[in-house]
Amino acid sequence: IIVVSPDVGSVARARAFAQKLGMGLAIVDKRRQKANSSEVMNIIGDVHGKKVILFDDMVDTAGSLCGAAQALVEIGGATDVIACASHGVLSGPAVERIEKSVIKELYFLDTVPAKQGVTCDKIKYLSVAHMFAEAIERIYEEVSVSKLFV
């Protein structure tokens, strides 16, 4: 299994995640021609024959995420793509793109509520309530909150 940054701008975040899991890192090099549009140029790192965790911060229209996943399989030779992002905005054609994509599962935090009436078996939500509760308790007890993020 290898962690993949979907673009150069997300490398630091993906690297920290990969290090916590003791995994390698690869990067999808893409060019963004205009907003909500990008083209994969290259994959930096070896994903051939590997399961990948595509690690992003936010998914809006899902074009970049789905394009990166497709490239990881078609160009890089990855066997499976699981994706995760903090925020699932999911505007416009996002859900349809995810449904048709090579992504097996996509995990979001519940920081942005799921769209009502929109279903996609690939999309799963993880609660952050426990982290907020812990932060509130630490603030109340005057204990460091930063330890939550180590």
Residue 20 bears catalytic tag: no
Which of 30, 34, 122, 147 is an active site residue? 30
The Cα–Cα gap between 144 and 129 comes to 18
Task: Compute how many other C-beta atoms are within 10 angstroms of the C-beta atom of residue 94.
Answer: 22
The Cα–Cα gap between 135 and 150 comes to 13
Six token digits for residue 145: 């909150």
Please choose, from the candidates 27, 79, 75, the residue with its C-alpha nearest in 3D space to the C-alpha of residue 55: 27
The Cα–Cα gap between 25 and 10 comes to 12
Query: Catalytic positions, please?
Result: 30
